[in-house]
Amino acid sequence: MRQLIAAAVQISCTDDVEANIEKLELHVREAARRGAQLVVLQELFEGLYFCVDEDRRHDARARPLAGHPTVSRMSALARETGTVLPVSLFERDGARLFNTLVMIDADGKVLGHYRKSHIPDSPGYSEKFYFADGDTGFRVFETAAGKVGTGVCWDQWFPEAARAMVLMGAEVLIYPTAIGSEPSYPGWDSRDHWQRVMQGHAGANLTPVIAANRTGAEKGRTGDMIFYGSSFIADHTGAKLAEADRVCDCVITAALDLDEIASARRGWGVFRDRRFDLYGALMQPTPERLLAMA
């Protein structure tokens, strides 16, 4: 039996980087005390979710990965706690800016990085204004906690990404996230839809999912956002094993038997019976009829 204790941390953020990181450190240490080997942190936790506005001054938040102070600090924390830490950052690579996840192993070693593939562009989530499309392709990292497939926020809405990562060997899928208010649809609460989509990835791929969202109200120059937390861990059937509420700064944990899950994945037949010869439509551009707004 290969047991993985997985954790997700959610916090509310201010624009004080030091305060945010100190808060996360407390929760990572708490997760480690509970036996966690993999601790998923939320998207862009260093500061406020600046993508609510389109303001070139926010570009100054981006830093190169080499010598990045938050990566160095999280590496030390991973080594101290013996936990695998995926770290979400605003990366500068020359003239290009990316929404990037750095995977840090339990000994503090940086295993590599993944650049967010799917970039949203809607009121409140103006990420295309800041981030280039990711150029790493989907990534699966072999860590001390197992083989971890990494998506970031909007990636979680695409079943193709989840399936690709599992075909690449992922034993668990993670999604650092920043989601809440929907300015395009005032009054609509997307929380349950958000969870169900990822629960579907878990069930369809017989692979657990860990999603870490942020919480709290954040005020931008052009609007406000209320993030709804509700971080969760789903098992390989899509059932939620642990779930945070909408507002707490907290950590959740759940135990996963990776060997038992691997056996179920092999035995269920969805990978045996894949008809990849019929999936050509997935390689074509989206039809115009699906792009037009009602």
If you ran DSSP here, which 8-state letter would residue 284 be given? S
Backbone angles phi, psi at 282, to 5 degrees: -70, -20
Q: 109 with 74: CB under 8 angstroms?
A: no
Place of tokens 């407390």: 26
Q: Of 13, 23, 43, 127, which is the active-site residue?
A: 43
Q: Of 23, 116, 171, 218, which is the active-site residue?
A: 116
* Region of residue 285 (left: phi > 0; alpha: psi -120 to 50; beta: else): beta
Bridge partners, residue 217, by sequence: 226
- The alpha-helical segments, DSSP class H, found in the chain are 17-33, 69-81, 159-167, 191-205, 258-268, 288-291
Does 43 qualify as catalytic in the annotation?
Answer: yes
Does 153 qualify as catalytic in the annotation?
Answer: yes
Q: 201 with 267: CB under 8 angstroms?
A: no
Task: Kindly state the tokens that stand for 157.
Answer: 């809405």
Handedness of CA 108, 35, 151, 59 (dihedral sign): negative
Q: Which of 91, 66, 89, 77 has the alpha carbon at shortest distance from 30?
A: 77
Does 116 qualify as catalytic in the annotation?
Answer: yes
Q: Of 13, 153, 171, 218, which is the active-site residue?
A: 153
Active-site residues: which are they? 43, 116, 153
